[in-house]
Amino acid sequence: MSQVAICPTCGSKSKIKEKEGVTTYEAVQDEEAFKKIGQLKKAMEKFKLKAEALEEELRELKSS
């Protein structure tokens, strides 16, 4: 998932990318894009929690 932050140069909301210790900012211009990014992050978090619960259940089944 992209990290979104305020660009120190222009003050716009931007996606942050780090490569070889160099941080680059790519401006995001559409408010709907921010909304979608938030929705996707929430969906991914839910999926991650379900996957972790299933992994724990699988470990318990294997140990018994």
State if pTM tops 0.75: no
Q: What is the token pair recorded at 17? A: 């990318």
Buried b vs exposed e over 38-52: b needs ≥16 C-beta within 10 Å? eeeeeeeeeeeeeee
Longest Cα separation, the chain: 58
pLDDT grade, residue 6 (50/70/90)?
confident
For 29-60, what is each residue's pLDDT tens digit?
Answer: 777 777 888 899 999 999 999 999 999 999 99
20 φψ region: left (φ > 0), alpha (ψ -120 to 50), beta (else): left
